[in-house]
Structure formats: structure tokens, C-alpha cells
Amino acid sequence: MTDSSLVIAGKSFTSRFLLGTGKFKNKKDLSDSITASGSQIVTVALRRIDLERHEENILEHIPSHITLLTNTSGARNAQEAVRIAHLAKASGCGNWVKIEVINDSKYLLPDNQETIKATEILAAEGFVVLPYISPDLYAARALVKAGAATIMPLGSFIGSNQGLKTKEFIQVLINEIDLPIVVDAGIGAPSQAAEAMEMGADAVLVNTAVATAQNPQGLARAFALAVEAGRMAYLSGLPLKLPLGSASSPLTGFLYDELPAN
Amino acid sequence: MHITINGTSQQLISVKNLSEIVSSYCKQSKHVITELNGTIIPSDQWSKTNLQDGDALELVTFVGGG
């Protein structure tokens, strides 16, 4: 079956599985998981350098052909997100930024309003902006207007592995928004990633589930297959759900001419 | 003189430029981003930028993230 590429800001990708690089136990797990995932876009974050502990540079473990997507984690408002995006761009590692504005420490839900403000500013400056939001049609429409390159609605709370709790709202975005929809956050199992793709999501981003698995490399591969399976199912057109049984083999003409009465 | 690096006060014995600071505080300079008193300084300007008493410097780099 032929599939079109995922196109974000004019750049084509054959993989529809984005991988986050946080929480990995060691750099080998990270590196092996990136390879196993087949991901062509991976997310990274920016932090102050620890002056006591000379840490390794994470970018050394990410192959150079991969598109880096720097998130603005740690930003509590639009202004801080813009500052982080500027710092990321100054590194010379591209201008792709995932806007993540969070000022709630309990649920870690993104602030859609501040995200829209940051997207307006950064898109106008020429950044490729991928905003992470709570799935909301009006916020998504505002982001389209602001110049976002994709919309990244959350499936459930970050790092919760709860799957697609916001399924119906993500479906609205898939139906109504004319930008790639990348389901991000909360996806804890390959079946959930497949479900998002079957609904017609354009891509899925996973981090915690892979990074904290017993075998991260194995789960990265499982997610990649699930994303591909879900995509193929979507393109093939899933049949309708029926309320009653519908036989897949003929039930009459062998022992009975008619089905036995109940 | 005293400068603040990443929120911590540091004493410098002699005047140093940004390039020297980055080499002494970071394992490597690749992918290090510097922000001096709120302004990003590109790496090609580091050796021309001398630190002054009371400066606030941020040294930032990439880490894992989702």
C-alpha cells in the first residue's frame, strides 16, 4: 500500500513516529531506541549546564540526519517559551521548536492561551512551531491562524501512560484542522499509538513509555510497528461497527436449512 | 571580581573573556549557548566578549526531553 509522506513545514518524513529523549537510563538505551524507532524527528530540551557535574552532550547520541525538535519545557508563559526558542536557535541546531508552556505542577497540563501567544511570536520570526496543547478546537484554530506547523494535542497527562483519554476531542481536530495532527503525551502502549493512527492522526510522539520500559529498544520497535499498522488501517478504511452478530461463514445449508431457533 | 553563572556567584581572579569561561566551566563548548545579562552571545563573539564585575551569565545546553 502506498502512503504519502508526513510533511511538516515543507519537509517530508517517511516515519510517523516521533521519539522523545527524556528519562532514558543511559545513553546506549537512548541511541538504540532511536535506531529501533526509525524516528526522523526527536525532541530534546534545554537546561542550564550543571557546573559541578560535567554532563555528556546529548546531541552526540542523536544521528545528524534526524530533525531536532527542541521543546520549551520549563517555560511557564509565552515570554519564557520565546526566550528558550531563541536560545535553541542560537545553538545552530535548527529552528524547529515544540512550544510547551506549563504552569501547573500537578497535572502538567499545557496553557493553551500562552501557547498561542508564543506561537504567534515565533512563527512570525520564522521558526517552525509545533505547539503542544490540550485538544480544543478554538485553540487549534487560533494556532492555525498564528502560523503553527502542526497541532500536538495530548492523549492524557504527560508521562501517565493512560492512553487516549481525550480521544473524541482529538478526533474533532483531525476532522476540522488542516494541519498535521501529532498526538503527544500519555501514550503508554503500542495499541494506543495504533488507535490514534487508526483515527486518522498524522503522527504520534512517545517518550516516557519507551524510556522507562524494561527493554526500551524493543518497545521503540513495537511502537514503530504499531504506528505503521494503525496508519495502514486508517488508509484501508475501517469497516463500520455493528450492534449485532454478522456471520463471516455461511451458517445454513450444511446441517440445517435454517438457523435453529433460540 | 564576582560574576553570577547559572545563578551561582563565582569569583574570577583575572579578567576573562567568554571563550575562556566556557572552556573552564563546560566539558566541551559544542552546543553550549551563552546568555550574558539577558542577551544571547553567538559563539563567534565569545573571544571578543570580556566579562565585567557583576555580570550575570547563563550557560545552557541540550538535555533529554519529550
Per-residue pLDDT reduced to its tens digit, A119-160: 999 999 999 999 999 999 999 999 999 999 999 999 999 999
Decide if A154 contacts A162 (C-beta within 8 A): no
Mean pLDDT score of chain A: 94
**Best residue of B3, B5, B31 to probe chain A, by most A CBs closer than 10 Å:** B31
Residues in B touching A211 (Cβ below 8 Å): 64
- Interface predicted TM-score of the whole assembly (ipTM), two decimals: 0.89
What local confidence, expressed as pLDDT, does residue A200 receive?
97
Residues in A touching B57 (Cβ below 8 Å): none
Q: Which residues contact A22 (CB under 8 A, 6 or more apart)?
A: A43, A45, A207, A208, A211, B63, B64, B65, B66
Is residue A249 situated within a structural domain?
no
Is residue A245 situated within a structural domain?
no
Name residue, grid cell 547559572.
B6
Structural domain count, chain A? 1
Q: The pTM is what?
A: 0.90
Q: CB-based contact (8 Å) between A213 and chain B?
A: no
Is residue A250 situated within a structural domain?
no
Is residue A146 situated within a structural domain?
yes
The residue segments making up the domain with residue A55 are: 6-236
**Contact check, Cβ <8 Å, B64/A45:** yes
- Number of helices (H), then strands (E), in chain A: 8, 10
**Structural domains in chain B, sorted by start:** 2-60 (3.10.20.30)
What local confidence, expressed as pLDDT, does residue A3 receive?
84
Is residue A247 situated within a structural domain?
no
User: Looking at the predicted structure, is the pLDDT value of residue B16 above 90?
Assistant: no
d(CA A127, CA A148): 9
B28: pLDDT confidence band, cut at 50, 70 and 90? confident
Position with higher pLDDT, B33 vs B29:
B33
CATH code for position A101: 3.20.20.70
Q: CB-based contact (8 Å) between B20 and chain A?
A: no
**Contact check, Cβ <8 Å, B65/A73:** yes
Q: CB-based contact (8 Å) between B5 and chain A?
A: yes
Is residue A18 situated within a structural domain?
yes
Q: CB-based contact (8 Å) between A53 and chain B?
A: no
What local confidence, expressed as pLDDT, does residue A172 receive?
97
- Catalytic residue IDs of A: 98
What local confidence, expressed as pLDDT, does residue A203 receive?
98
